[in-house]
């Protein structure tokens, strides 16, 4: 089945239910309760958003969120922000290790939280653009947008693991 | 019961909770209207966990169509909330409340499987904590490998002490020569002393050679033990470990990390002991010769100790980073070298080289940074040590020139010799931190494998005399990662000898059902029973030995065809192997090969076609005469003619055995007694071919789609022939 790439100017998006969105095309075709999924949740946050219906079938793909009309962009970003929870770490408060399990207490843009990292070699990844992605023992994700923008103590604590 | 979530409804960290009673659910959350909400089960149309990315929401759909979010949480609470949602659904539908509560309790207990001592997560409530069994302690682990060779090491240490003591003799003789023998022109004494010195040197270097030999043998034995243990441990690690750890990283640990550790262990057990005795011996001699000069020569020691501590701290993170880079290189190697065919076929050699170069350059960058610190360190130490020698020359020379003390030139020269010998052990202990930090990084990686939780064999020794082959899945739920549930409430019973087809679209969970049955993954919820015994209570080796498993992509070892078939039954008689090959329709093609059963297969079975390899893999499975047969899309990668040959082989093999067949081509399942249709992790249809066709559900649709595509293919083929 050919993918339904949609011209960003020919679609109107409105929030349906926090994580769901309704879409109306220029042609008058309407879709309800679509779930936006990033096709590149790591490498391209604003590109290629797949809109999936309740049956799990992809209905539309938006190539670039930035090209949407302002109201539609706002609606889509609001849904994406609800769905994708990757807290951004702003400070490493505490880092302890016992039997190769690391406990990190961090300050994030969503508040303070403590999590464990089972295998630091597999769970902490530095990306090509300098971002650091962390996956905890429960498969939750965290991000450090720029290690060197953190305070000196946090850098010192994190540096050996990256 | 109560479930506490770790997020507020707006996605910020914070606590909220739901309280579940026999007939209602109460949500307590500051972001709900009136900070709470109570809903009767009878008002709830559906309760479910909606998995998002990095978090999930417990939502209920009310009978009036309104949807309400009651709880938000990170993935840590998803399994429990899944169980609660099932509880509500089933209790509402009239299931026994105690029975359903028990299911939630099991889920909760599985989540609470922590070691009470160290807090590490355990595979099950009964599992031993590997860390608290003492294996996690680095020193204990290392000593475990040194212990069997302790005698050798003691002999080696004694030899070291003797050679060290001998090394202390020449400077003293220098003093005798400078002060007595040469000024008194005592020729006979000079010859005697030189001969004695020669004897000392001969013994020193002779014993040194013997010691080096013993050390090498011992070191090699230690590393062999370590490598064997890591490899053996790696064999028993659960599939989950391999899902998350790259092969390259494991190879790196078995090869280079063990060598790193061996070097360090030998340094600690040998050189450290020798250097310690040497240091004490020299201090005593120096104090006896001249206590004032001896105290002066100790001045650089605290500086060296402080420097050592400072550099040690700097080096530790560097070596950890260096290990990561080195592990990445191994991962790339393990990834690309076996895939050389793919690389060549897509002419991606240049890209692969560039990628490898990037990783090697990364390593180089880290190594440069570590090398800088590691090079400054010993030279800084040597500088302070040399300054110490200059101090002794200055003060000692002053005493000799002034002649106010009994310090002679001979004693001073001899003292300087001892002083430079004294700084060697000081230097050694200072630089020990460098190799310690390096070894520490390696030890951590090795311990990662050695202390990892192995596959648990709770039913060790429990091998039922006979397995009839009744298989039951009871309320089985499973997910590889908490972000996505793979199997959802799987329930079915298969009677002994039945042939069961499992069908469904790609990613529906068919193979996962088989993976759980094979006990590749044990951390599922619910129970899997064979002949009414939980498979976890049966000896894992025995259990797997009763299953014949044929995969979609059969893997052959670099060995003869005979050994590849006999792999499932070591020591199998030739007749048995030929018989198995015959049943699998493989004997004919094997006998036509020039070297027949002695044909050595290349890596991954190169040299045979896909269908031939598949038939060898069926022969391998048949040879052990299993009670259960599993075919995981065994015919999906072969042409129609080969499929027929394989299908004939399968028909022979499955007689009288409970058989699971995952098949891509549904036509092959017509003979199955029963067909399970899996969709999005659930069994949506269960019945015979005819029953499911009459049902006109998913199976019916799949059959129709496939019949149509087969017809189109047949028409095209016919057209081409014309």
Rounded Cα distance, B435 and B308, in Å: 12
Name which residue leads in pLDDT, B423 or A2: B423
Whether B462 maps to a domain, the answer reads: no
DSSP β-bridge partners for residue A114: A105
Structural domain tally of chain B?
A: 3
A79/A97 same-domain check: no
CATH of the domain at B237: 1.20.1560.10
* Residue B711 in this model has a pLDDT that exceeds 80: no
Among all residues of chain A, which has the CA nearest to that of B358? A128
Report residue A156: phi and psi, to 5°. Answer: -60, -40
**What DSSP letter does each residue of B506-548 carry, written as one string?**
TTSSHHHHHHHHTTS----EEEEEETTEEGGGS-HHHHHHTEE
B615/B696 same-domain check: yes
Lowest mean pLDDT among B132-136, B262-266, B330-334, B639-643: B132-136
State the pLDDT at residue B184.
Answer: 84
Residue among B699, B669, B659 at smallest CA distance from B508? B699
Whether B455 maps to a domain, the answer reads: no
A74/A10 same-domain check: yes
Q: Mark yes or no for CB contact A141/B451 under 8 Å.
A: no
A48/A95 same-domain check: no
Whether B231 maps to a domain, the answer reads: yes
- Helix B272-289 × helix B150-167 angle, to 10°: 30
B227/B312 same-domain check: yes
CATH of the domain at A131: 2.40.50
Name which residue leads in pLDDT, B42 or B671: B42
> Mind listing the pLDDT tens digit for each residue in B541-596?
889 888 988 888 888 888 889 999 998 888 889 989 998 998 888 898 888 888 88
Q: Mark yes or no for CB contact B55/A108 under 8 Å.
A: no
B205/B314 same-domain check: yes
Whether B118 maps to a domain, the answer reads: no
> Mind listing the pLDDT tens digit for each residue in B203-219?
888 998 898 888 888 88
Rounded Cα distance, B681 and A34, in Å: 22
Of A99, A139, A160, the CB nearest to B317: A160
A47/A112 same-domain check: no
A43/A97 same-domain check: no
Last residue of a domain, one of A83, A115, A145: A83
Q: Mark yes or no for CB contact B54/A141 under 8 Å.
A: yes
Of A81, A99, A139, the CB nearest to B481: A139
B492/B556 same-domain check: yes
State the pLDDT at residue B528.
Answer: 93
**What DSSP letter does each residue of B40-87 carry, written as one string?**
EGGGEEEEEEEE-BS-EEEEEEETTS-EEEEEEE-GGGHHHHHHHHHH
Integer-rounded Cα Rg, in Å, for chain B is 36
Rounded Cα distance, A64 and B709, in Å: 36
Any chain B CB within 8 A of the CB of A18? yes
Whether B459 maps to a domain, the answer reads: no
Neighbouring CB atoms inside 10 A of B124's CB total: 14
> Mind listing the pLDDT tens digit for each residue in B16-27?
899 998 889 998
B216/B251 same-domain check: yes
Last residue of a domain, one of A50, A83, A116: A83
Task: Report whether B623 contacts B569 (CB < 8 A).
Answer: yes
A77/A22 same-domain check: yes
Instruction: Please tell me the distance in Å from A111's CA to the nearest CA on chain B.
Output: 5
B205/B325 same-domain check: yes
pLDDT in tens, chain A (162 residues): 567 888 888 899 999 988 999 999 988 999 999 999 998 888 888 889 999 998 888 899 999 999 999 999 999 999 999 999 999 999 999 988 766 678 899 999 999 999 988 777 778 888 878 899 999 888 899 999 999 999 999 998 888 777
Compute, in degrees rounded to 10, the torsion defined by CA atoms B104, B108, B111, B116.
-160
- Label residue B434 by pLDDT band (50, 70, 90): low
DSSP β-bridge partners for residue B686: B676
Chain B positions contacting chain A at CB under 8 Å are 6-7, 11-14, 50, 52-55, 57, 67, 69, 74-76, 118-121, 131, 136, 244-246, 249, 316-317, 320-321, 324, 327, 444-445, 447-448, 451, 481-483, 680
* Residue B722 in this model has a pLDDT that exceeds 60: no
State the pLDDT at residue B122.
Answer: 61
B184/B286 same-domain check: yes
Question: Sign of torsion, CA B80 B86 B89 B94?
Answer: negative
B278/B401 same-domain check: yes
Last residue of a domain, one of A83, A112, A136: A83
Residue among B147, B152, B151, B146 at smallest CA distance from B214? B152
Task: Report whether B483 contacts A139 (CB < 8 A).
Answer: yes
Range of the domain at A95: 89-161
Residue among B127, B108, B123, B239 at smallest CA distance from B512? B239
Range of the domain at B390: 133-450
A122/A66 same-domain check: no
Report residue B307: phi and psi, to 5°. Answer: -60, -45
B322/B381 same-domain check: yes
B446/B475 same-domain check: no
B602/B495 same-domain check: yes
Query: At CB < 8 A and 24+ separation, what contacts does B635-641 make?
Result: B635/B663, B635/B664, B635/B665, B635/B668, B636/B552, B636/B663, B636/B664, B636/B665, B637/B552, B637/B553, B637/B610, B638/B610, B638/B611, B638/B614, B639/B611
B93/B166 same-domain check: no
Structural domain tally of chain A?
A: 2
Of B54, B121, B246, the CB nearest to A84: B54
Report residue B488: phi and psi, to 5°. Answer: -130, 110
State the pLDDT at residue B680.
Answer: 86
Q: In whole angstroms, how far apart are CA B509 and each of B113, B704, B719? A: 26, 22, 38
């Amino acid at each position: 089945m050919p993918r339904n790439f949609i011209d960003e100017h020919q679609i109107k998006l409105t929030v349906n239910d926090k994580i769901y969105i309704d879409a109306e095309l220029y042609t008058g075709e309407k879709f309800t309760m679509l779930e936006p999924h990033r096709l590149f949740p790591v490498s391209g946050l604003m590109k290629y958003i797949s809109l999936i219906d309740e049956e799990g079938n992809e209905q539309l793909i938006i190539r670039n969120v930035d090209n949407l009309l302002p109201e539609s962009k706002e609606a889509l970003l609001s849904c994406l922000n609800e769905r994708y929870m990757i807290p951004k770490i702003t400070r490493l408060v505490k880092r302890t290790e016992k039997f190769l399990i690391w406990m990190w207490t961090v300050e994030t843009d969503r508040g303070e939280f403590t999590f464990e990292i089972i295998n630091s070699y597999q769970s902490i990844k530095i990306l090509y653009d300098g971002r650091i992605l962390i996956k905890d023992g429960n498969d939750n994700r965290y991000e450090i947008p720029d290690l060197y923008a953190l305070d000196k103590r946090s850098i010192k604590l994190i540096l050996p693991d990256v | 019961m109560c479930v506490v979530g770790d997020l507020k409804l707006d996605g910020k960290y914070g606590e909220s909770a739901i309280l579940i009673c026999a007939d209602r659910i109460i949500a307590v959350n500051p972001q709900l209207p009136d900070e709470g909400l109570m809903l009767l089960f009878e008002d709830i149309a559906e309760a479910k966990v909606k998995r998002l990315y990095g978090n999930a929401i417990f939502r209920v759909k009310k009978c009036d169509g309104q949807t309400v979010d009651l709880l938000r949480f990170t993935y840590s609470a998803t399994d429990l909330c899944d169980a609660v949602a099932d509880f509500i659904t089933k209790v509402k539908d009239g299931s026994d409340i105690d029975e359903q509560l028990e299911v939630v309790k099991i889920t909760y207990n599985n989540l609470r499987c922590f070691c009470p001592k160290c807090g590490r997560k355990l595979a099950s409530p009964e599992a031993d904590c590997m860390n608290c069994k003492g294996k996690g302690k680095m020193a204990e682990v290392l000593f475990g490998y040194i212990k069997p060779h302790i005698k050798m090491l003691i002999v080696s240490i004694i030899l070291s002490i003797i050679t060290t003591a001998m090394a202390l003799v020449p400077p003293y003789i220098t003093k005798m020569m400078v002060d007595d023998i040469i000024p008194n022109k005592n020729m006979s004494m000079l010859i005697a002393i030189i001969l004695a010195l020669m004897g000392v040197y001969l013994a020193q270097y002779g014993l040194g050679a013997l010691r080096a030999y013993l050390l090498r043998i011992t070191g090699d034995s230690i590393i062999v033990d370590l490598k064997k243990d890591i490899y053996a441990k790696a064999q028993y690690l659960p599939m989950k470990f391999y899902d998350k750890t790259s092969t390259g990283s494991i190879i790196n640990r078995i090869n280079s990390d063990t060598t790193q550790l061996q070097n360090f262990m030998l340094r600690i057990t040998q050189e450290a002991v020798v250097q310690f005795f040497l240091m004490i011996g020299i201090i005593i001699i120096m104090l006896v010769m001249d206590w004032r000069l001896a105290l002066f020569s100790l001045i650089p020691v605290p500086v060296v100790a402080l420097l050592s501590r400072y550099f040690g701290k700097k080096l530790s993170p560097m070596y950890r980073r260096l290990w990561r880079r080195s592990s990445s290189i191994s991962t790339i190697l393990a990834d690309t070298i076996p895939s050389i065919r793919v690389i060549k076929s897509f002419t991606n050699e240049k890209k692969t080289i560039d990628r490898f170069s990037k990783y090697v350059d990364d390593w180089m960058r880290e190594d440069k940074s570590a090398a800088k610190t590691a090079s400054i360190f010993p030279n800084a130490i040597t500088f302070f040590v040399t300054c110490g020698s200059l101090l002794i020359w200055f003060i000692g020379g002053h005493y000799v020139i002034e002649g106010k003390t009994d310090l002679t030139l001979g004693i001073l020269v001899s003292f300087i010799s001892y002083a430079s010998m004294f700084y060697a052990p000081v230097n050694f202990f200072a630089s020990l931190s460098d190799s310690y930090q390096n070894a520490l990084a390696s030890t951590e990686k090795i311990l990662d494998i050695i202390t990892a939780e192995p596959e648990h064999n709770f039913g060790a020794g429990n091998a039922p005399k006979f397995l009839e082959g009744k298989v039951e899945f009871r309320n089985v739920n499973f997910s590889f990662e908490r972000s996505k549930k793979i199997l959802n409430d799987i329930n079915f019973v298969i009677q002994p000898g039945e042939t069961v087809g499992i069908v469904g679209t790609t990613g529906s969970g068919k193979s996962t059902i088989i993976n759980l049955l094979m006990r590749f993954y044990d951390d599922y919820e619910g129970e899997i029973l064979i002949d009414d015994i939980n498979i976890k209570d049966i000896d894992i080796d025995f259990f797997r030995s009763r299953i014949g498993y044929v995969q979609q992509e059969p893997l052959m070892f670099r060995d003869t065809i005979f050994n590849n078939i006999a792999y499932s039954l070591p020591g199998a008689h030739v007749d048995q192997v030929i018989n198995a090959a015959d049943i699998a329709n493989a004997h004919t093609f094997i006998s036509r090969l020039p070297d027949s059963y002695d044909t050595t297969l290349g890596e991954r079975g190169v040299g045979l076609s896909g269908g031939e390899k598949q038939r060898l893999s069926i022969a391998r499975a048949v040879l052990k005469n299993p009670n259960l047969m599993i075919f995981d899309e065994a015919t999906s990668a072969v042409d129609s003619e080969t499929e027929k040959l394989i299908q004939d082989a399968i028909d022979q093999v499955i007689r009288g055995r409970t058989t699971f067949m995952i098949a891509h081509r549904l036509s092959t399942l017509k003979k199955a007694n029963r067909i399970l249709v899996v969709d999005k992790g659930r069994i949506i249809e269960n019945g015979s071919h005819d029953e499911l066709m009459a049902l006109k559900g998913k199976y019916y649709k799949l059959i129709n789609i496939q019949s149509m595509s087969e017809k189109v293919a047949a028409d095209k083929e016919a057209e081409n022939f014309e």
